[in-house]
Structure 1
Amino acid sequence: MLLQYFTIVPMRNIGRLKGVWAAVTADTLSIVASQAGLFLGTRVYQGASSRPVCRRPVLPTGC
């Protein structure tokens, strides 16, 4: 959060309290987006790897 503060405050030219709030907001959104991406990626990977393997097609629709 400290790094967020020192990058946001000079760019936006805002005060300390608003800078802290902006840093907290940016850090929170960053963590939430990162976690959502990890969970979504895991779900996609598990969905792709848990499909049944067709050794020989029994029905015209596949397995």
Structure 2
Amino acid sequence: MSDQGGTPADDFPHGAGNPARGALRAAGYTRLAELTTVTAAELLALHGVGPKAIRVLREALAAEGLAFAGE
């Protein structure tokens, strides 16, 4: 999914699943690095974000030298 400028609507890994990616965008997150300000538990509370999405996002954050808040 892209905006009118052709840039991605987010930079979340596709392995997180479309429901999770949509839930994150709906909550105002569009960049992986923004997830460092929130805990995994807070993200799990979003409808559409489950354990698999958290695992995929955690791995993507770690690959960038980042982590969820409190980790």
Would you call these one fold, judging by a TM-score over 0.5? no
Structure of higher RCO (CA pairs closer than 8 Å, 6+ residues apart): 2
Highest Rg: 1 or 2? 1
- Decide which structure has greater helix share: 1
TM-score, with structure 2 as normaliser? 0.26
